[in-house]
Amino acid sequence: MIIVRNLSKQYGRNEVLKNINIQFDKGKVYGIVGENGAGKTTLFRCIAGLEDYAGEISSIQNPIKNYLGLLLTEPFFFQKITGKEYIQLLCNARNIKIADIQERNIFDLPLNQYASTYSTGMKKKLALTAILLQGNDYFILDEPFNGVDIQSNIIITEIIHKLKALDKTVIISSHIFSTLSDTCDEIHLLSNGSFIKSVQKADFAALETEMKQMTIGNKIEKLGLT
């Protein structure tokens, strides 16, 4: 369980997060949606301990970062580290020894190749594999489906289902609503740094319709397409 209370975050005079209150329980998958700049990634970075903030973020297990697998939209890799070395590095950080990394290479990545030479999708799959092998209790996946081939998206969806079955806490952001519908128990809409709506699975379709109306409006007509 992760509890966020009265969380606010500013960059200079720009208030990115405004009095966020939310609880993430174990064995559940949470979707966080919102326009670019709504504050999703900043929220994730605060939970991961990568940002200073006002308010409180707590958990039964502390510090949270020692039990958290964070998949960033654009994972960072050292210039000359192979895929295998990257996985070993992250597992060593959790004192976990993995002797059969190649057998667990479910995305068939070229693990002896420098990770910096990977495509965007390959980098994301490598980073995801590494945090999964760490044995974390909490997972934050920032746009896990973006830039990844459809076969891998199917695998990622099933991984999320497995994490839920293992009683893990999973938080996801995605601009592909169908992926959230397939995986989440709850979806929370973030706008201008505040949560403005939270819905359960039974109301996902209504939320998607509402978001389409909010986003599209009469913009297509303005193009004057003929």
142, 134, 60: which is closest to 97 by C-alpha? 134
DSSP class of 164: H
The pLDDT score that the predictor gives to residue 224 is: 80
Residues 159 and 157: their CA atoms lie apart, in Å, by 5
What's the CATH number where 206 sits? 3.40.50.300
Which residues on adjacent β-strands are paired with residue 8? 54
Provide the pLDDT for residue 143: 94
Which tokens go with 223?
């193009």
Tell me what pLDDT residue 130 has.
96
How many CB atoms are closer than 10 A to CB 220?
A: 9
Tokens 């979707």 correspond to 31
Cα dihedral across residues 63, 179, 29, 35: positive or negative = positive
DSSP state, residue 82: B
For residue 63, say if its preceding peptide bond is cis, omega within 30 degrees of 0: yes
pTM here is 0.91
- Runs of H (alpha helix) within the chain: 40-47, 83-92, 120-133, 150-165, 177-183, 204-216, 219-223
Q: pLDDT digit of tens for each residue in the chain (226 aa)?
A: 999 999 999 998 899 999 999 999 999 999 999 888 889 999 999 999 999 999 999 999 889 999 999 999 988 888 899 999 999 999 999 999 888 899 999 999 999 999 999 999 999 999 999 999 999 999 999 999 988 999 999 999 999 999 999 999 999 998 888 889 999 999 999 999 999 999 998 888 888 888 777 777 777 888 888 7
- Please give the tally of structural domains in the chain: 1
Domain that holds residue 123: 2-223
Per-residue model confidence (pLDDT) at position 206: 86
- pLDDT score of 124: 95
State the first-to-last Cα distance of the chain, in angstroms, to the nearest integer: 53
